């Protein structure tokens, strides 16, 4: 039932020219809410009813939702048509200045209002007023929050491939999340939906499972291949039918020879260790094999039983976008310093370029592996194949364990000075846990997993507690392989700090993409380029001398730094001395090549060690924030 006021307003609207859509009359029906909006808003509303309903929301922004008004007049053709008839354009009795205020008239209680109607009216008004106050409160809170919102802090994580950038950056490992006291914001990046409390994590685990399976299978295949080479050598005069079968299988799997890259990485380090040829153009040769290795039929059978893993590796690599050969990873050491490469980087971001299947933020590899193909049919086939892949891995479990724990195989590896446990993505001690159908990766597995980043991955965190509450941290994890480095450049102008990862255990290793280049040397070149860049001259650089744990185990094994770094001289071959020496090298480069004086912040880290890294990250966070605040004050 309408109150007299509502009827009066409807009449008023009709008299003065209601909007064609009758919104004036509609507003009258919502009078209690209008009245609760206070005199100014109420007046605006009533004026609207008097021929300009469309203007009401301009004065009372929240009214459209509250009262069901049309949107504010924006001059669009649609709205022009619906615009109410002007008061002056129709025969409407004009009021003199002494005439009664229409609002007062409209709001006055009816002369014949019964006590029940009065009670009802007052109740309606009270309720509407309460709603209005709540909305006011909400608007105020939002305004205050917006005023307080701190600008995000953007951190770019650079370094050569396998330096630990992704381990350091990605929040799956909870490292930054825990240290910053942050939780992933609800609606942002797909990558950030990973949390144990979140059902998305279940799906993410499926993706990580594939990575870890690939890491494990990859190492088994490397061992089988080396074993095949050894067997071949020992029986040079007698062709081994199983080895031939194995090679045929390999050729079928990939024209590029799936294992070549990994093999070269391992073999090239063997070459350095055995003091083989220094000619940079010569292919690395494996060290000579002691004759004491006695392969039996069991080894032949093992190799044959494990051969399906070649195809498994090829499938997993393809799904994860890791099926790239070495030539595709090659490139200039510092293409981001080169004009042409900058153009190239811009062109690479051109969306018309055919899409490739590899790790990049726009098409997260996790999303890709979950989707597994574009068409429904392909997805189905791939899903079936995934189940098959897991079955094969589970079926090979005992053979894999047998291979890895075999004493002849262990001798073979140690004769070649190959230390699988120091290689990234080492899971051979966990086969019985990982090669099962219901395997679920742990946080530690995820930290240790190896997946090459191509392109850029973005991670976002929002601080949940303390003074920094509400501050967003954005971390850019870029691919460190040479072919990916041109993509770094666009990020240089838009970050607050750079964390540079330099693994110091790599003094005796070669680059995966170019085995002629020493990895430590490559890090120096990169660091020099970053320090000397004019674009980055004002930016805070933080150096992580990473993989200290691997350095420790290498020095423990008696590897002498001076053999690979002659300038190291006769210093003590222990971790503190070696780390100090490398740190001084990086500091000298920074001092010498920075266009402007800058502080040198460096940390010795093993980023796979979550606990110790948390302390470092805390210090880094403080440092970046302090710098940020100082800069803001200077501005
Ligand atoms: N032992 C040890 N392993 C590490 C450390 N940091 C990284 N790793 C391992 O090294 C491998 C490579 O690390 P990533 O973070 O993927 O390397 P990246 O720098 O992102 O390499 P790209 O993606 O190719 O640029 C992973 O298997 C990590 O688990 C460390 O401090 N100690
Ligand atoms: Mg990476």
CATH number at residue 487: 3.40.50.300
Looking at 426, 448, 470, the residue that finishes a domain is 448
Kindly report the protein residue whose alpha carbon is nearest to atom 6 of ligand 1.
164
pLDDT at 289 over 60: no
Same-domain pairing of 620 and 580: yes
d(CA 634, CA 285): 58
- Confidence tier at 429 by pLDDT (50, 70, 90): very high
Closest ligand (CA of 165): 1
Q: Which of 197-201, 271-275, 336-340, 621-625 has the highest mean pLDDT?
A: 621-625
Residues 6+ apart with CB under 8 A from 575: 548, 551, 552, 555
Residue among 167, 215, 427 to mutate when testing ligand 1 (max atoms within 8 A of CB): 167
- Rounded to the nearest 10 degrees, what angle do helices 376-395 and 308-319 cross at? 140
> Quick check: is 541 in a domain?
yes
Expressed as residue numbers, the domain containing 24 is: 4-147
Looking at 125, 147, 169, the residue that finishes a domain is 147
Same-domain pairing of 527 and 557: yes
> Quick check: is 132 in a domain?
yes
Same-domain pairing of 186 and 210: no
606 lines ligand 1 (CB under 6 A): yes
Q: Is the dihedral of CA 628, 629, 630, 633 positive or negative?
A: positive
Polymer length in residues for the chain: 635
Q: Which residue has the higher pLDDT, 202 or 177?
A: 202
391-402 exposure pattern, b = at least 16 Cβ within 10 A, e = fewer: ebbeebeebbeb
Residue 546 marked ligand-binding: yes
Same-domain pairing of 312 and 435: yes
Burial class (CB in 10 A: 0-12, 13-18, 19+), 338: middle
163 lines ligand 1 (CB under 6 A): yes
Q: What is the ipTM of this complex?
A: 0.98
Same-domain pairing of 289 and 388: yes
The domain total for the chain is 3
162 lines ligand 1 (CB under 6 A): yes
Residue with tokens 């409209």: 106
Same-domain pairing of 223 and 132: no
Same-domain pairing of 597 and 493: yes
pLDDT digits 0-9 by tens, 70-104: 344 444 444 444 444 333 333 334 444 455 666 67
How many separate helices (H) and strands (E) can be counted in the chain? 29, 7
335 lines ligand 1 (CB under 6 A): no
Residues 6+ apart with CB under 8 A from 363: 355
Same-domain pairing of 300 and 419: yes
- pTM confidence score: 0.66
Closest ligand (CA of 158): 1
Same-domain pairing of 376 and 281: yes
547 lines ligand 1 (CB under 6 A): yes
Kindly report the protein residue whose alpha carbon is nearest to atom 13 of ligand 1.
164
> Quick check: is 180 in a domain?
yes
Structure tokens at 230: 């050894």
- Do residues 155 and 499 touch, judged by C-beta distance below 8 A? yes
Cα(124) to ligand 1 centroid in Å equals 65
483 lines ligand 1 (CB under 6 A): no
pLDDT at 576 over 90: yes
Residue with tokens 């597995």: 445
Same-domain pairing of 157 and 228: no
Kindly report the protein residue whose alpha carbon is nearest to atom 14 of ligand 1.
164
Looking at 416, 448, 480, the residue that finishes a domain is 448
d(CA 521, CA 541): 19
Cα(165) to ligand 1 centroid in Å equals 7
pLDDT digits 0-9 by tens, 433-469: 999 999 988 878 888 899 888 778 888 877 766 777 7
Kindly report the protein residue whose alpha carbon is nearest to atom 8 of ligand 1.
164
Distance of CA 164 to the CA centre of its chain: 14
> Quick check: is 344 in a domain?
no
Same-domain pairing of 290 and 253: yes
Structure tokens at 447: 């930290």
Give the mean pLDDT of the chain. Answer: 72
Cα(258) to ligand 2 centroid in Å equals 21
> Quick check: is 238 in a domain?
yes
d(CA 180, CA 474): 12
> Quick check: is 341 in a domain?
no
> Quick check: is 234 in a domain?
yes
Ligand 1 atom having least distance to the Cα of 449: 27
d(CA 622, CA 626): 6
Helices (H), 396-465: 397-405, 407-415, 431-434, 443-448
pLDDT at 327 over 80: no
Same-domain pairing of 16 and 143: yes
> Quick check: is 349 in a domain?
no
């Amino acid at each position: 039932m309408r109150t007299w006021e509502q009827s009066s307003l409807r009449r008023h609207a009709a008299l003065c020219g209601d909007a064609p859509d009758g919104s004036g009359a509609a507003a009258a029906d919502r009078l209690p809410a209008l009245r609760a909006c206070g005199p100014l808003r109420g007046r605006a509303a009533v004026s609207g009813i008097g021929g300009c309903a469309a203007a009401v929301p301009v004065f009372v922004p929240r009214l459209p939702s509250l009262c069901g008004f049309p949107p504010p007049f924006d001059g669009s053709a649609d709205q022009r048509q619906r615009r109410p008839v002007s008061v002056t354009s129709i025969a409407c009795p004009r009021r003199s200045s002494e005439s009664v205020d229409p609002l007062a008239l409209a709001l006055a209680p009816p002369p014949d209002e019964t006590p029940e109607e009065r009670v009802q009216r007052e109740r309606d008004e009270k309720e509407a007023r309460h709603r209005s106050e709540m909305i006011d409160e909400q608007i105020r809170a939002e305004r205050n929050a917006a005023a307080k919102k701190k600008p995000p802090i953007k951190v770019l994580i650079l370094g050569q491939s396998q330096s630990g950038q992704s381990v350091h950056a990605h929040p799956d490992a909870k490292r930054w999340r825990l240290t910053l006291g942050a939780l992933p914001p609800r609606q942002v990046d797909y990558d950030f939906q990973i949390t144990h409390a979140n059902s998305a994590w279940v799906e993410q685990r499926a993706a990580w499972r594939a990575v870890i399976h690939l890491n494990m299978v990859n190492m088994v295949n490397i061992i089988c291949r080396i074993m095949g080479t050894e067997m071949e050598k020992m029986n040079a005069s007698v062709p081994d039918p199983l080895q031939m079968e194995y090679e045929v299988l390999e050729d079928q799997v990939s024209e590029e020879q799936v294992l070549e890259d990994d093999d070269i990485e391992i073999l090239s380090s063997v070459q350095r260790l055995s003091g083989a040829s220094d000619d940079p153009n010569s292919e690395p040769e494996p060290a000579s094999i002691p004759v004491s290795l006695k392969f039996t039929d069991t080894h032949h059978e093992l190799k044959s039983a494990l051969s399906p893993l070649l195809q498994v590796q090829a499938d997993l690599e393809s799904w994860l976008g890791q099926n790239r050969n070495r030539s595709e990873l090659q490139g200039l050491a510092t293409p981001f310093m080169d004009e042409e490469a900058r153009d190239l980087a811009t062109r690479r971001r051109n969306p018309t370029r055919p899409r490739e299947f590899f790790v990049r933020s726009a098409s997260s590899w996790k999303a890709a592996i979950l989707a597994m193909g574009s068409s429904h049919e392909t997805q189905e086939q791939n899903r079936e194949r995934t189940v098959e892949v897991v079955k094969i891995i589970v079926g090979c479990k005992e053979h894999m364990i047998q291979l890895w724990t075999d004493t002849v195989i262990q001798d073979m590896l140690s004769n070649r000075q190959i230390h699988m446990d120091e290689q990234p993505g080492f899971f051979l001690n966990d086969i019985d846990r990982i090669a099962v159908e219901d395997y679920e990766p742990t946080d530690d597995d995820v930290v240790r997993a190896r997946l090459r980043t191509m392109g850029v991955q973005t991670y976002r965190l929002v601080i949940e507690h303390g003074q920094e509450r509400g501050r967003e941290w954005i971390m850019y994890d870029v691919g460190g392989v040479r072919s990916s480095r041109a993509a770094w450049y666009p990020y240089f102008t838009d970050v607050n700090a750079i964390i540079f990862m330099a693994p110091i255990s790599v003094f005796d290793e070669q680059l995966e993409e170019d085995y002629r280049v020493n990895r430590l040397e490559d890090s120096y070149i990169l660091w020099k380029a970053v320090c000397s860049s004019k674009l980055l001259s004002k930016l805070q650089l933080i150096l992580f001398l990473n993989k200290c744990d691997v350095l420790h185990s290498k020095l423990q094994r008696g590897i002498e730094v001076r053999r690979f770094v002659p300038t190291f001289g006769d210093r003590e071959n222990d971790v503190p001395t070696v780390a100090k020496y490398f740190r001084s090298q990086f500091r000298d480069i920074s001092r010498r090549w920075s266009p402007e004086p800058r502080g040198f912040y460096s940390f010795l880290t093993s980023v796979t060690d979550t606990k110790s890294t948390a302390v470092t990250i805390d210090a880094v966070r403080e440092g970046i924030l302090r710098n940020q605040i100082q800069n803001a004050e200077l501005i």
